[in-house]
Structure 1
Amino acid sequence: MILVWSYVGSILMLSERWLTEPDYSHGFVVPLFSIYLLWRRRDLLRQTSTITWSAVLTGCGLILAAGVMRWIGIYQQFDLLEPASLIPCLMGAFLIIGGWSWGKWSWPAVCFLVFMIPLPGFISGLLSQPLQRIGTIVSTFSLQTLGIPAIARGNVIYLTEARIGVVEACSGLRMLNVFFAITIAASFILNRPNWEKAVLILSAPLIGVVTNVMRITITGVAHEFFSRELADHLFHDLAGLLMMPIAVALLVLEAWLLKSLWLEGKAGRVNLGLGERKRLKTGDAT
């Protein structure tokens, strides 16, 4: 209760940003998923909990670090540091209360809370500009490949009788934020080897860029062959809603491919091609 009372102002500040900034509207879901992770890993609590001095000292150090973060955030007017300090503070509290066994149980849920913190403005700016440029160039190439006359000038794609402005809000940063959270969440849930989880996480930026390029390309096709009203509806509404399910589908496809290309043998993991696996099943292989 003391922890909740101490951070109620920070939580309200975050809630306001989740409500007013579409890029971070997923923030409401993040704490709920963290609670789900705690429930999913509840079997770890059945292990014998031994509180050691090392766990207590580590927990105190994390709480002290959280206090320093809050002090810097308040006196240096860096607003995001105060809510971010909740993460080490929670981890420290778990270690003090339950020792290393509670730390092992809670660390994925606590670490996942980082996705509820909005990115600092300067980081958003650094990421948005290259994402805009990549989206513009690749989408222009995609439209040209489809036989549609398209020229990129800056972050604007000029078509035959229309133009598409890839502004900061359409850079794909929002999708990248959400998709990183989804891939990390999947890595906690999926019972797969660590290297497969790492591949899924590292592929998040690529899939995010691909889905945003698909969105811009579909809009260009609608501009060229249908109407401006339909294109605007696709760009701002329908395509934005569909891109996340498509991105999740690509993630599922990638996970399936990784699982299909590798077999678990008795002596370890063996890399086998799909054709070789079929022969093994039919008994043709020796």
Structure 2
Amino acid sequence: MGQRWLSEPDYSHGFVVPLFSIFLLWRRKELLTLTPTVSPSAVLTGCLLVVLAGLMRWVGIYQQFDLLGPASLLPALMGVCLVIGGWSWGKWCWPAVFFLLFMIPLPGFISGQLSHPLQRIGTILSTFSLQTLGIPAIARGNVIYLTEARIGVVEACSGLRMLNVFFAITIGASLILKRPLWERAVLVLSAPLIGVVTNVMRITITGIAHEFFSRELADHLFHDLAGLLMMPIAIGLLIVEAWLLKRLWLEEEVDAKVDLGFGDRKRLHASEAT
């Protein structure tokens, strides 16, 4: 996995994922019991998870399915936690173990199946955006033809890299935010939409630069700078969405002195009569 993190830009965020998992363990430290009660059911479940991890590793090696090898690390870690600390440790560490899923690189055929639709969506929406802004643009395949230039929406511009990172950020935010479950679910489900929107913004900005500035400036300044700014913009959109969701339903603050119970009203009348 480390070799793929170093060699493939789409998964360079893999080095950060274990650090965030450690942060999750620290944030949930109040759930950690130093003298846990290990039940037989927890030990049995942990052993089964370790056996499952071994089977996944075996199938991954002998069937040459690269995804199962790294993925076997997750049930193995969870199984060890259950064997050592019981269900209390399982409740403490499961978010951190689950988040490690985002450090596992996808197999090449899955990345290809995802990148091609993202390329097409980015091309169509970016062409529509440029046309809406009054810039002549025509999409042919995954190439956008402008007045005197053309933009090829290649696999590097499909948005898959940003979508991988943004999914990890969104899931991480949902694990640490103290919000209702439905709000966190909406944030997670909106991650693909925000990822596509930011990628379309990047391609559109590059098209505007090609139309009104030189090609060299568009390629070396706007394209690279837009790529760097897209993730902060995506995080900003996520913050705005969380802010709006928080204000959709306002929690009523009930005064503790106001009691609506029948028994309290009866006692109140009795005290007034006295």
Tell me the TM-score normalized by structure 1.
0.87
**Alignment partner, residue 140 of structure 1:** 127
Q: Equivalent pairs: percent with the same residue? A: 82
TM-fit CA distance, 1:49:
2.3
Query: For residues 248 and 27 of structure 1, do their structure 2 counterparts lie closer, same or farther at Cα, with a shift above 3 Å needed?
Result: same
Q: Give ranges in structure 2 of 5+ residues lacking alignment.
A: 255-274
Q: Which residue is 1:174 aligned to?
A: 161
Alignment size in residue pairs: 254
The answer on whether the counterparts of 1:219 and 1:234 sit within 8 Å (CA) in structure 2 is no
2:23 to 36, 41, 48: 36
Q: CA deviation at 1:262?
A: 1.5
Query: Structure 1, residues 19-47: CA drift from partner, whole Å, max 9, x if none?
Result: 11000000000000001100110000148
Q: Is the 8 A contact 1:216 1:235 kept in 2?
A: no
- Helix, strand or coil: the match of 2:251? strand
Partner of 2:50: 63
1:66-112 CA-partner distances (Å, limit 9, x unpaired): 00001011111222321210000000000000000000000000000
> Which residue is 2:3 aligned to?
16
- Map of 1:120-135 to 2, 5 A cutoff? 120-135=107-122
Name the aligned partner's letter for residue 55 of structure 1. A
C-alpha spacing 1:20/1:236, structure 2 compared with 1 (3 Å):
farther
2:72 corresponds in structure 1 to 85
Q: Distance in 2 between matches of 1:97 and 1:148?
A: 63
| Counterpart for residue 271 of structure 1 | none
Q: Distance in 2 between matches of 1:188 and 1:170?
A: 29
Tell me the distance in 2 between the aligned counterparts of 1:199 and 1:86. 29
Q: Structure 1 regions of 5+ residues with no counterpart?
A: 1-13, 268-286
**Is 2:206–2:223's contact at 8 Å kept on the other side of the alignment?**
no
Deviations along 1:167-210, one digit per CA (max 9) or x if unpaired, are: 11110000000000000000011110010000000000000000
Q: Alignment partner for residue 94 of structure 1, among 81, 97, 106? A: 81
Of 214, 221, 225, the residue aligned with 2:201 is 214
Once the two structures are superposed, the pairs formed by residues 1-286 of structure 1 within 5 Å of their partners are: 14-46=1-33, 49-234=36-221, 236-265=223-252
Q: Deviations over 1:214-239 (max 9, x none)?
A: 00000000000011011112454211
TM-score (norm 2): 0.90
**In 2, are the aligned partners of 1:47 and 1:101 still within 8 Å (CA)?**
no
Whether the 8 Å contact between 1:234 and 1:240 is mirrored in structure 2 is no
Larger radius of gyration: 2
**Contact 2:187/2:238 (<8 A) preserved:** yes
SS at match of 1:164: strand
| 1:123 positional shift | 1.3
Q: CA–CA distance in 2 between the matches of 1:73 and 1:251?
A: 36
Moved >6 Å (runs of 4+): none
SS, match of residue 147 in structure 2: coil
**1:265 CA displacement:** 2.3
In 2, Cα distance between equivalents of 1:41 and 1:149: 54
Q: Distance in 2 between matches of 1:79 and 1:119?
A: 9
| Native 8 Å contact 2:43 2:86 kept in 1 | yes
In structure 2, C-alpha distance between the alignment counterparts of 1:224 and 1:207, rounded to whole Å:
26
Q: Using the alignment, how far apart are the partners of 2:250 and 2:118 within structure 1? A: 37
